[in-house]
């Protein structure tokens, strides 16, 4: 999982995080396009990827014995992605068609997208994850590589392993593949990553005749942190979900 999502898309390039997610399957110098997916299929496994507002996730579901092999593939494409113009342009058309199918042709999605944009008018969450159509059409190879170099680093990634595995074995598995990763700067905070949206954006527009005041900045400060979640009361032991054979004597001391 990479700690960036559509909320980190540069202004004017909405959809680049999702677009790069597609391009991450185009192969590296060590593994040709489609090899990763073919290996997962031959093992009887499953794979996929998805983009959210704050992260992009890539996952595989395989037998435990092949965990190290999956890590090798992921480590390779974390640093060795190869992109050619003949791969990028067709994939951009795929994303455009995905938008037309899932949003433009779906009457329920159009008001949902408009509402999201209105609710977060001055925040990155107002951008659709897939991007605006006219901005997707302008994305190219250099945009994808610049985004890849900026965010796809070990300091900005998280490895999640779930299943019948040994913790120490999992901890040791990535080391042979990550030892040669180039060192990058520590991952910035979410607010720092989105500083281009947190800082005032100068406007060249002249004031309207009705007012001598200049237009307000698009976004002047980072959103405040979410308030701490209040502690939930402890459930009484007389609740039926705690019964084993017979209900215990009811007590309210646990509340």
Question: Residue 190 belongs to what H/E stretch?
Answer: helix 190-193
Contact indicator for 44, 63 with CB cutoff of 8 Å: yes
3-class DSSP assignment, residue 15: coil
Which tokens in the block code for residue 190?
């979410």
DSSP conformation letters of 38-102: HHHHHTT-EEEEEE-SS-EEEEEE--GGGHHHHHHHHHHHHH-B---HHHHHHHHHHHHHHHIII
Q: Known catalytic residue: 98?
A: no
d(CA 187, CA 211): 43
3-class DSSP assignment, residue 2: strand
- Radius of gyration for the chain, computed over Cα atoms and rounded to the nearest angstrom: 24
Nearest CA-CA partner of 253 in 231, 240, 242, 238: 238
Catalytic residue among 21, 74, 91, 135: 21
Active site amino acids: 21
């Amino acid at each position: 999982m990479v700690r960036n999502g559509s909320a980190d898309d540069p202004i004017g390039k909405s959809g680049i995080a999702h677009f790069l997610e597609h391009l991450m399957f185009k192969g590296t110098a060590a593994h040709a396009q489609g090899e990763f997916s073919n290996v997962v299929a031959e093992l009887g496994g499953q794979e996929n990827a998805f983009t959210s507002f704050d992260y992009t996730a890539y996952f595989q579901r395989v037998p435990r014995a092949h965990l190290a092999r999956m890590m090798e593939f992921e480590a390779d494409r974390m640093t060795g992605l190869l992109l050619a113009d003949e791969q990028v342009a067709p994939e951009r058309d795929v994303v455009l068609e995905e938008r037309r199918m899932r949003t433009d042709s779906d009457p329920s999605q159009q008001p949902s997208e408009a509402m999201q944009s209105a609710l977060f008018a001055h925040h990155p969450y107002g951008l659709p994850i897939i991007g605006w159509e006219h901005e997707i059409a302008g994305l190219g190879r250099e945009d994808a590589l610049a985004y890849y170099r900026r965010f796809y680093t070990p300091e900005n990634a998280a490895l999640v392993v779930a299943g019948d595995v040994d913790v120490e074995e999992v901890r040791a598995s990535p080391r042979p593949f990550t030892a040669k990763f180039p060192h990058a700067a520590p991952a910035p905070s979410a607010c720092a990553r989105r500083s281009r949206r947190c800082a005032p954006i100068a406007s060249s527009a002249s004031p309207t005749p009705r007012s001598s005041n200049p237009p307000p900045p698009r976004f002047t400060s980072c959103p405040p942190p979410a308030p701490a979640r209040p502690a939930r009361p402890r459930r009484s032991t007389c609740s039926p979900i705690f019964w084993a054979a017979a209900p215990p004597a009811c007590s309210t001391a646990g509340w």
